[in-house]
Structure 1
Amino acid sequence: MALFISEKVSFDVTALLVTGVLMVTGILTVEEGLSGFSNPATVTIGAMFVISAGFRESGALRVLGGLFERIAERHQRRGFLTVLLIVGAVSAFINNTAAVAIFIPVFIGLSGTLGTGSSRLLMPLSFISIFGGTCTLIGTSTNILVASIAVDSGLREFSMFEFAPVGLVFMATGFLYLFIYGNRRIPDFGRYPDLTRRYDMGGYLYDLELTGESESLGKPLEESILTDDLDLDLIRVFKRKGSESAARTRSSLESGDVIRARGSREAVEGLSRKNRLRIRPPVEWTDEDLIKEMDTLVEVSVAPDSGLEGKTPEQASMKRNYGAMVLAMRHRGRLLREGYSEVRLSGGDSLLLSISHERIPMLEESPDLLVVSRVELKECSRRKVIISAAVLAGVVAAAVLDLLSVVFGAVTGALVLVLTGTITTRQAYNAVQWKVVFLLAGLLPLGIAMGKTGAAAMLADWLLAILKSLGPHAVLSGFFLLAMLLTNILSNQASAVLLAPVMVTAAETMSVNPRTFLFALAFGSSLSFATPVGYQTNTMIYNAGRYTFSDFMRVGIPLSILLWVLGSILIPLIWPL
């Protein structure tokens, strides 16, 4: 638990380390230790990532984003409510991380249409997508995981829409809360500014003019001593006949050429003195000053569970992999325009990039980065949309009619998407969030170990000693609250796996229905609103909305208390103890 909370090692590595130790010490057999990889929950979640990717690659979600803009333009506030309802419905059936990734730039655009700051829209986007995911078995990985644990515990399996009665009430409550009370507590940072102002680049952009005394005259930029200064980024060279990207220029430098550079005033003055350059008077910079011909500015966010987490911008090789130059970054709410080369990236960090237009599709296809500042409507393939919709409908229908298990239906659907060319094998592989897969593969055997060693029974007895005298309803409410607290600190999957054996044991000890406790666990592990780190969609909007940690607490804590009280009443009513 200490390793999970400290995050000194990523969640997936921690989970695999724990399982390895349990096998080495003999607590788990090799078969038990590796059982997480073949568990139906792990396989189903991986397959659902691929099915969600089918919608993304077909262009359906991007076209839906265009529909959102038209609805908001025509109906303003009422239209925005309609848009959020659609987001909730979409998130009930496809991975909400994929949906939110597509809709972030759309909602930033909607903020201009509605005349409000994007911060007022992005938090509702994340929260409603979380609520939508709680409404069906496949809406969130937590529900799939808890359903698998129920079957492993010898309980009746969860059906596709069994979560819906409580999930829909939670969503309606969330809507009312956000638009009656929560919306007033969400900060409004104003209209989304252009990127140079958003990253406050005014004091870090300079034009340097070559004089007749410069030692770099007659040499291409890359061969000149100007590139020796590691504290400066040279963005563009302006020549008499136009401008060239500094990263691609091959022309020889001449007197009168102007080099646009990014760096501190001290670094620029040092370069100017050393190379006899003239610093032009400062101007009010705009995006247009950095968007010329083939180059543009793009803001990207590091995806949750990205392979870039723990790496510095230099180690991420943005220039080599994408031909992009990092101009500034937001790290855990702090704006950094210098000294960020050694900062280790984490999920939700935002980067301001200078990149050529032709390279942007590479960013959009990267599983590690989310483009948040712009959205290009991908050409919608009618054939791919039909196949993707048919596959998802088939998976849902087969599960509802009990024709196929969810895991078999999901795997079959994923294979159909690949075999029909709806997505390529590479796109399918990139769509899977492998950190989540390895996290589950490492955590599920931990549940077995807790049962074998008696740890689950011991923890259950300890909690029952505190709450049992108040009755099973109080115990259920206490576990529901504990799940909500843990998921704001750990990941939702970790919270579910750690608490599941304890809650099942506690229910059996009191001779009440364990399924009721597992439903409370599934909902509690998904309802993460008080921090930006507990749920992936919150992490994604954290820097994009310029929120602080306290913004989530101010909006999320009252909402969490409201849902805790409501869930403590509703869950035992729908699934009697």
Structure 2
Amino acid sequence: MVVDGVTTGVVVVLCIILAALALFVSEVIPNDVTAIGVIGALVIFEPWTGVGARAAISGFANPATVTIVAMYMLSAAIQDTGIVHRLGVYLADFTAGNEFRALVATVGTTGPIAGFINNTPVVAVFIPMISDLADEAAVSPSKLLLPLSYAAILGGTLTLIGTSTNILASEYARTLIDGRSGIGMFEFTPLGIVILAVGLAYLLTIGRRLTPARIPAESDLVEEFDLDDHLAVVSVSPDSPAVGMSVEAFSAEYLVETRILQIRRNGEVFAAPRTDQRIEAGDQLVVHGTLQAVNRLGKVTGLKQILREDVTEETFIEPTVDETLARAVVPEESAYVGETIAEARIAAFHDTTVLAIRRGDELLRTDLDERTLRPGDLLLVWTTPTSIEYFTDSGELVIAHEEAYDKLAKADVANIAPLSSKTPIAVGIMAGVVGATALGLLPIVIAALVGVFAMIVTGCLSAPDAYDAVSWNVIFLLAGVIPLGVAMEATGGAALLAELVVVAAGFVPLLAVLFLFYLVTGLLASVITPVATIVLMIPVAVDAAVRLDANAFSFVLAAMFAAATSFMTPVGYQTNLMVYGPGGYRFSDFLRVGGPLQLLISVVTTLGIAFRWGV
């Protein structure tokens, strides 16, 4: 059936796309789950979409998907060498407490590294380091964390393996453009260097002035999370039923709305709930809960609040106690996403108590066990070094403030950031993957898989760690949206959208059309994932270029760069989401700092593409 030149198939596919976009933006369900739903919808409506079961799951076998899986694993092996941690030590030494040097060190190292290692784990490693660099320089961490994310994004434009969108764009170039075998490892590196240089210059000048200082320099964590009225010190009277009870037993019987964090006794401090000490008369207990809850507890148990005793971050810093306060970010791929804190069992399994949650401008301090965790949430936790190590290794939480990173510049480098004995082997294997691809000896998917094999057999990476390193939600998202591109092509949806681009060419020069296409793609990537943007826009780019008798490869590059450089929202790129909470940013901060940067990069990239490849 055709109505005004638009087939029923086009209408059905566009409806599926619009529904998917609505779910991507609203995040009512996780994006990877939405992508799985897209697979089902395409097959259910196969008579109109033209996508059968085999085509619908083709994304899982797509070379780009397999390559991205392998690159996650290779990045993990490089991370395990300790090189990035070692670099953090040298950064602390270089900055020497100077604010501008700290900014230069942040953006000047993150960008180049992100060209060869997946930028998400790079940012995860750098967040605690940068936070402590900010402390040493007496500058707000907000002034450094947003530039950290932006520099990592800019670095992704340097090489083919810089981001997953580059790899996906290469696969589309191979299948959609005649005579193209994909995109070379360093084919666009000269332009990437220009983009990185321009972006870093912006961050060091205009961006530096626009970036707000949301979190005060050297801020007290208790003040930062406004917990003054949610932490108290109570004394244990001789007739209290708490006397003689363990913390665990007392908590089970009496503590519903409050939690004991410390027992303080004659100058000694015992961290709860792990301590085996029994509560004694005269003990002072540091408790977490509202003042109303503390008062109700006092009426039942005889515990009396010591009004003159203020609880600050210093209260929790004791040389005899391992536990520490820390900020922790919930990354997008964390298994905790979608679970309540009670369901996640963080306290039971990892001796970690969540004291507050910062979610954008919202600060949550009550009913925490019932709060559902979301990507980007910033948690204030009372935790142990062992748990910090677990969260860091597993990637379930990104620790954004850690005492172990304090005074790195004065520390023994070898002890603080030891290098693995496998470091030369791992670096050599990674160099081999890059070299084999760059020289055309092997397709990137095969080179990456051989690299993973070599990392595992040489002991640089264990098989379990390799599988754990993969962000499977990203892989399922990728595999789920790739069939949308198939449906767009099969039904003529890409051709229909390309017609709109052709119409624009009737009013402005071809270079302006390329620029407008870049802007639209960038805006779309800011509200949905860059991966989904690439899948939707590259078929349109190639179709439009053919109709305009333009260079299809230039339009593909425009879509690739636009999707890979999303600065305007915290949800458009995962690294933005990771610094959102630790920096205390507002949504508008990304528009204020990222908006001009995105426009600047749009102009530079469009002109660079036109100069190098033509339009």
TM-score, normalised with respect to structure 2: 0.90
Structure 1, unmatched stretches of 5+, are none
Structure 1 pair 217–501 and aligned structure 2 pair: CA distance change class (3 A): same
Q: 2:144 aligns with which of 105, 121, 124?
A: 121
Q: What secondary structure is seen at the aligned counterpart in 2 of 1:341? A: helix
Aligned AA (2:345): S
Q: Match for residue 300 of structure 1?
A: 328
Contact 1:327–1:353 (Cα < 8 Å) also in 2? yes
Q: Match for residue 73 of structure 1?
A: 96
1:331 aligns with 2:363: no
1:13 aligns with 2:33: yes
Deviation larger for 285-294 or 206-215: 285-294
Q: Match for residue 468 of structure 2?
A: 430
Q: Map 1:80-95; keep pairs closer than 5 Å.
A: 80-95=103-118
Q: Distance in 1 between matches of 2:84 and 2:472?
A: 23
Aligned AA (2:361): G
1:163 aligns with 2:191: no
Q: What secondary structure is seen at the aligned counterpart in 1 of 2:456? A: helix
Q: What secondary structure is seen at the aligned counterpart in 2 of 1:166? A: helix
Q: Distance in 1 between matches of 2:542 and 2:599?
A: 24
Q: Map 1:466-481; keep pairs closer than 5 Å.
A: 466-481=504-519
Q: Match for residue 164 of structure 2?
A: 141
Q: Distance in 2 between matches of 1:412 and 1:64?
A: 28
Q: Match for residue 119 of structure 2?
A: 96
Deviation at 1:84, TM superposition (A): 2.3
Q: Match for residue 150 of structure 1?
A: 173
Q: What secondary structure is seen at the aligned counterpart in 2 of 1:259? A: strand
Q: Map 1:512-551; keep pairs closer than 5 Å.
A: 512-551=550-589
Q: Map 1:25-424; keep pairs closer than 5 Å.
A: 25-26=45-46, 27-73=50-96, 77-78=100-101, 80-155=103-178, 156=180, 157-188=182-213, 189-224=215-250, 227-240=253-266, 242-292=268-318, 293-374=321-402, 375-376=404-405, 379-424=417-462
Deviation larger for 248-257 or 274-283: 248-257
Deviation at 1:79, TM superposition (A): 6.5
Deviation larger for 176-185 or 467-476: 467-476
Deviation at 1:3, TM superposition (A): 2.1
Q: Distance in 2 between matches of 1:41 and 1:261?
A: 52
Q: What secondary structure is seen at the aligned counterpart in 2 of 1:326? A: strand
Deviation at 1:257, TM superposition (A): 2.3
Deviation larger for 72-81 or 185-194: 72-81
Q: Distance in 2 between matches of 1:396 and 1:430?
A: 23
Q: Distance in 1 between matches of 2:416 and 2:445?
A: 30
Deviation at 1:405, TM superposition (A): 1.0
Contact 1:326–1:354 (Cα < 8 Å) also in 2? yes
Q: Point out 4+ residue stretches in structure 1 off by more than 6 angstroms.
A: none
Aligned AA (1:366): S
Deviation at 1:50, TM superposition (A): 1.0
Structure 1 pair 359–5 and aligned structure 2 pair: CA distance change class (3 A): closer
Deviation at 1:457, TM superposition (A): 1.0
Q: Distance in 1 between matches of 2:200 and 2:118?
A: 20
Q: Distance in 1 between matches of 2:504 and 2:155?
A: 34
Q: What secondary structure is seen at the aligned counterpart in 1 of 2:370? A: coil
Deviation larger for 60-69 or 190-199: 190-199
Cα deviations across residues 252-297 of structure 1 (Å, max 9, x unaligned)?
Answer: 3332222221011000000001111111124333323124423222
Deviation larger for 417-426 or 44-53: 417-426
Q: Distance in 2 between matches of 1:56 and 1:391?
A: 13
Structure 1 pair 342–74 and aligned structure 2 pair: CA distance change class (3 A): closer
Deviation larger for 176-185 or 520-529: 176-185
Aligned AA (1:340): L
Q: Match for residue 447 of structure 1?
A: 485
Q: What secondary structure is seen at the aligned counterpart in 2 of 1:533? A: coil
Aligned AA (2:335): G
Contact 2:360–2:584 (Cα < 8 Å) also in 1? no
Structure 2, unmatched stretches of 5+, are 1-20, 406-414
Cα deviations across residues 48-97 of structure 1 (Å, max 9, x unaligned)?
Answer: 11111112212111011111111112876356425522221111100011
Deviation larger for 197-206 or 6-15: 197-206
Q: Distance in 1 between matches of 2:185 and 2:236?
A: 68
Structure 1 pair 218–86 and aligned structure 2 pair: CA distance change class (3 A): closer
Q: What secondary structure is seen at the aligned counterpart in 2 of 1:147? A: helix
Aligned AA (1:185): L
Deviation at 1:9, TM superposition (A): 1.7
Structure 1 pair 227–197 and aligned structure 2 pair: CA distance change class (3 A): farther
1:487 aligns with 2:525: yes
Say how many residue pairs are matched: 577
Q: Distance in 2 between matches of 1:368 and 1:523?
A: 30
Structure 1 pair 127–225 and aligned structure 2 pair: CA distance change class (3 A): closer
